[in-house]
Structure 1
C-alpha cells in the first residue's frame, strides 16, 4: 500500500501544472484535487477544444429534439438568434461518464419538463475523444465543463433585460447525473448571488467521495441542492454513486442501493440482455440509472410521495426496524422537492429514505406507508417469523394492492413487542378508514422442525398505527377480531379505526 501511495504521489507531483483560459480562469492538479487516498491520479484538464462543451436548447417554441438549437458561450449572436426566452426559468441537463448530450434520458427529461411547464432547457454535451474517455481524465475535464456552463449563465444574465426572470440567478436550475452532478457544482460555486438549484442524480463516488468541498458537489453550490443516491455500494462491488450526504436534502430510495428490478447477482442478468457484454453493462449501471428514471417520472406522474426524515441507519428504516416520521420536515423526492423547502441552517445534510417498487420496474413512485404493529402476548402466542402484508382502504371501497411491509430479515416478531414496518403501494383516494392485515409464516429451510407442515403458529395483533406519508395522516386501527388472533397463511383480518 505504501508503494502504491508513493507511486501515486510521484505521478501526481511529477506532472503537476496549470492551464489557464482568458474567460474561464486557471486549473491546476495540486491538492485538494490530488489526494493520495481518494483521488490519487490528478490530471490536468484537456483543452477546451478537445472537451468541446456544447449547449443544445429546447423551449416551448421548439420542444422536440429535431428542433434543438446550438448555442455557444463564445458567440453571443447564437443567444439572440435562438428561441431563448428571458421571461422563463432555465434548466441545464448535464450527463456523466462516457455519455453525450443526445442520450435518450436527456431528451426524455427535456420533453417531460416542457410537457409540464414553460422553460428554457439546455442539454450540455462534452466530447469523448480518445484520451478524454478514461475516468480520471473525465473527472478533471468536469471542471472545464462547469466553468463553461458558468460562463454561459453569466452571458444569459447579462443578455436578459433587467427585471426579467432570466436576469435573476435564482431562476437557473442545473440537473446533473454521475460526474455531471459535480459539473453542476463547479458551475454553481462560481456564482454569487447563488444559482437557484442543483439536482444531483446519483453523483459519482470515485474521485469525489470524502474529498474537499472544492472538489465535489456541496450544499453551498446553490440556494437549494437536492440529491438522489441510488447506487451507493462500494466501488469494489460495482457501486458507482456517492453515499456521502452532500446537499440540503439527500434522498436514499430503498436505502440508496440495490434498487428493485435491478439484478442482485451478475449471473442472473448476463444471458438475458442479449449478450454477455450487454448483460454486464446492465448489471453495473442498473442501480445508477434508476436515479434519472425516478426523477423523470417525478416530473410527469404527479406522484406526491412525502418522505420521512430519518437521521439514523438508512437500511434500518427500509427494513422497518427503526426511523421516525417527521411531517414538518418531509418533502417529495425529485423535480418538485423545492416546493416545500425552506432555507435553514439546520436543514443541511438531512437524509430522507423511501421505498419504491418491490418487483415490477415501473412506476417507481408509490404511496408511502409506515406501520407500527403491536404483537400481543397471550399465553398461547407464538413468535412470528415471516412476512407481514397490509392492504389500505377507504369508505368508498377503494383499496391498494396487498403490500409487503418490509420485515426485519432474520429477526422474528416477538409477542409483547411492537415493530415498525414500511411499504409502498399504488395510490388511491384517501383518507384511510380501514386496513386488512395478514402474515405468512416462513420457517428456516435448514430446520425441518420449523417447516409449516409441522407447525402453524398463531400471532395476536390487536392494534396497528399507520403513517400515510403522502397526505401526512397518522391513524390507529384496531382488530375486528376480539382477541386479535391472526392465523398464518389462513385469512386476512380487517382493522377499523380505534
Structure 2
C-alpha cells in the first residue's frame, strides 16, 4: 500500500499545510528577547509560552497563569510546593485551540492526585504553524519550561523529583528538551506518541531520550503510516510500550484507508490513532480497578505469536500512569492488546498447541478457532492467528485475548474452520491443496493444549475430553477439559507420544 500519491496526500494533510489557514502564523518578535521581558505581560498580549495552573475541573475555567519571578502569583494561584507537579504539554495544532483531550487529562489527574499542581504549558502561538516551523520551536519552548522549573527550584520546599512532564506528540520532545536543559533531574517524563517526522533517528539531544529524566516512559500508538510515522517508531524511553503493535488501534477504522480518503475522513482516522495514547493514559488514571498490563518482547511479531507473556524478572508492567520504573531498563519494548474504548483492558492468554500429522505428507495449514469457557463467562470464537505458518509435529504458540474476565478457565473448544472467509485463509487452503498428494487425508491430531494467563501468570493444561478421539478435520471440533494446574515438570515424561 506504499502508493506515492496516497503518501503525498497523507503527508500534506497532516503535516505540511499551514495550520488553520493558508496564511502561516509566525511568532511575534524575538523569542530570546521575550524571555527577558518583565514578568507581568499585559492581558491583551498572549505570551508565546504560558503556564496555566488549573484550579478547577471545569474546562471553561480560565485557571491561573504563572509568571516566572512573580512569587505572589504562586501564592495567589494556590501552588503547593510539597505536592506532585504535572506539566501537560500539547503538540502541533491545526486549529490553534487546545484540544478536548487536554481537558480530560487535566480532570483525570485532578481526580487521581487531588493535592497535585496541574500546569498546562500553552505554546499555541508557536505550535499553530507549519509543522516544520513548530518542530523548530520545540527547543525554545523546552528552554522556557526548564526556566520555570529552575525558578521553582529556588523555593525551599519544591523538589524536581516530584515533577512529572507529560507531553503529547511534539510536546513529548518539548518535555525532552526541558529535561535536558533544567538544572537537575526531573522525576518523570511521559511521552504520549511522540512525533515521528524530523525526530526518527535523530540524535538524543534533539529528541526525547532516557537521559532527560530519572524515568522516561513512552506510549506509541501510531507508528505505521506507509513509510512515514506520525508517531516515532524507535524506542526513546526507559520503557516504550506499543499497544496493539503501535499501529492499528481498534475502533479507529484505519483498516479502510481508501474508504477514509474517499469520504474525507482520513484526518479523523489519523487523529484517532495518534491521540489514542492520551486516552490510554487517561484510562490508567480513572479506571484503577481495571489496569492494563504490557509485556516485554523484542518485536511485535513475537508478541503476536504469544511468546512474550512472562512477568519474570520485571518483564511485565502497568501502562500509562501506572507504569513503574524498572531497574536497569533502557529502551525496553513492551506490547499489549486493548479494546476499542475505555476501559481498554483485555485479558491475554498464551496457548501452546502440539499438532500432529500422522497420515499426510503434504503441507496442511489449518484455520483454527478456540472458545474459552470460564467460571464467570465464555469467550467468543477466537481465531488462532498465524504469524508465519503452523508447524506440524511441533508445538505452536498462539496469542488470544478476551475483552472480559472469564474467571477460572474450565474447558476449551478447538474448531477447524471448514470454509475460509478471508483471502489469507483461502490462500492457505489453496497452497495446502497444491502441496498434497492425491487423495489426501486432511486430518490432524491434538491431544493437549497448555494455557497461560498473562494477567495472573497462572498455567493450566487441558486434555482431550475423549483420549481416544484426538483427530480433527475441516469443519470439526474438539473439546478439552482442565486436567492439570500448571504445565508438566522437567522430570516428567513428555505427554506428547505418537498414537498407534
Q: State TM-score, norm by structure 2.
A: 0.77
| 1:140 pairs with one of 136, 156, 164 | 136
In the aligned structure 2, how far is the partner of 1:412 from the partner of 1:142? 46
The aligned counterpart of 1:462 is: 447
Change (3 A) 1:391 1:126: same
* Count, aligned residues: 429
The aligned counterpart of 2:270 is: 284
The aligned counterpart of 2:345 is: 365
Contact 2:373–2:406 (8 Å) recurs in 1:
no
| 2:235 pairs with one of 229, 238, 245 | 245
Superposed counterparts of 1:295-310, under 5 Å:
295-302=281-288, 303-310=290-297
The aligned counterpart of 2:149 is: 153
Change (3 A) 1:450 1:243: same
SS in 2 for 1:240: coil
The aligned counterpart of 1:388 is: 369
Change (3 A) 1:473 1:66: same
The aligned counterpart of 1:12 is: none
C-alpha displacement of 1:172: 0.8
C-alpha displacement of 1:406: 4.8
The aligned counterpart of 2:334 is: 352
SS in 1 for 2:352: strand
In the aligned structure 2, how far is the partner of 1:449 from the partner of 1:141? 57
C-alpha displacement of 1:138: 0.6
In the aligned structure 1, how far is the partner of 2:129 from the partner of 2:440? 60
Does structure 1 residue 343 correspond to structure 2 residue 323?
Answer: no
In the aligned structure 2, how far is the partner of 1:398 from the partner of 1:471? 15
C-alpha displacement of 1:449: 9.4
C-alpha displacement of 1:322: 4.8
The aligned counterpart of 1:127 is: 124
The aligned counterpart of 1:182 is: 173
C-alpha displacement of 1:373: 1.8
C-alpha displacement of 1:223: 0.9
The aligned counterpart of 2:41 is: none
The 4+ residue runs of structure 1 with deviation greater than 6 A are none
C-alpha displacement of 1:253: 1.3
- Greater mean deviation of Cα atoms: 383-392 or 199-208: 383-392
SS in 1 for 2:206: coil
The aligned counterpart of 2:20 is: none
Q: State TM-score, norm by structure 1.
A: 0.77
SS in 2 for 1:174: strand
In the aligned structure 1, how far is the partner of 2:210 from the partner of 2:354? 40
C-alpha displacement of 1:152: 2.1
Change (3 A) 1:67 1:355: same
Unaligned runs of 5+ in 2: 1-29, 37-44, 485-500
| 2:380 pairs with one of 402, 406, 429 | 402
C-alpha displacement of 1:430: 4.1
In the aligned structure 2, how far is the partner of 1:392 from the partner of 1:248? 38
SS in 2 for 1:214: helix
Task: Give deviations 1:281-308, integer Å, cap 9, x for gaps.
Answer: 1233332122112221122223233322
Task: Give deviations 1:54-93, integer Å, cap 9, x for gaps.
Answer: 222224xx23223342322333332211132234211111
In the aligned structure 2, how far is the partner of 1:459 from the partner of 1:448? 17
Change (3 A) 1:472 1:321: closer
Contact 1:176–1:200 (8 Å) recurs in 2:
yes
In the aligned structure 1, how far is the partner of 2:333 from the partner of 2:185? 23
Contact 2:188–2:215 (8 Å) recurs in 1:
yes
In the aligned structure 2, how far is the partner of 1:224 from the partner of 1:449? 50
Does structure 1 residue 475 correspond to structure 2 residue 460?
Answer: yes
C-alpha displacement of 1:245: 0.7
Task: Give deviations 1:141-169, integer Å, cap 9, x for gaps.
Answer: 1112112222222333334x53xxxx221
Contact 1:101–1:124 (8 Å) recurs in 2:
no
C-alpha displacement of 1:238: 5.2
C-alpha displacement of 1:22: 8.8
The aligned counterpart of 1:106 is: 102
Change (3 A) 1:400 1:182: farther
Does structure 1 residue 205 correspond to structure 2 residue 191?
Answer: no
In the aligned structure 2, how far is the partner of 1:89 from the partner of 1:403? 46
SS in 1 for 2:218: strand
Contact 1:308–1:327 (8 Å) recurs in 2:
no
The aligned counterpart of 1:423 is: 400
Change (3 A) 1:406 1:21: farther
The aligned counterpart of 2:18 is: none
C-alpha displacement of 1:205: 0.9
Does structure 1 residue 258 correspond to structure 2 residue 245?
Answer: no
Change (3 A) 1:402 1:20: same
